[in-house]
């Protein structure tokens, strides 16, 4: 897959992950913030969890979404902690 296509797919998967994480965490933030958190959280979680779990084959996009949701949930939690202070 080309580099540009990987970036586009990563943004789409990050957007989906951020939206799902926003629903799970009952986030009251705007949708665009959840999407950004999904993209950033997905990149971070994929880098960290990818060291321990190797996604393979056709289900690679499923693990990308799961990693993205985990990362976005974590970032939403961090943002909540920062806002409380």
What are the tens digits of pLDDT across the range 2-11? 788 878 888 8
C-alpha 43/C-alpha 68 separation (Å) is 7
DSSP designation for 57: G
What are the tens digits of pLDDT across the range 31-77? 888 888 888 888 888 778 777 776 666 667 787 888 888 888 988 89
Q: What are phi and psi of 55, to 5 degrees?
A: -65, 140
Considering the entire predicted model, what is its pTM?
0.80
Structural domain of 12: 3-84
Say how many domains are in the chain: 1
């Amino acid at each position: 897959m080309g580099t540009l296509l990987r970036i586009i797919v990563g943004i789409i998967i990050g957007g989906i992950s951020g939206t799902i994480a926003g629903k799970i965490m009952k986030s009251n933030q705007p949708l665009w913030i959840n999407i950004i958190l999904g993209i950033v959280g997905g990149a971070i979680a994929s880098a960290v969890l990818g060291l321990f779990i190797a996604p393979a084959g056709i289900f690679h996009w499923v693990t990308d979404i799961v990693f993205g949701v985990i990362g976005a949930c974590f970032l939403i939690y961090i943002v909540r902690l920062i806002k409380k202070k």
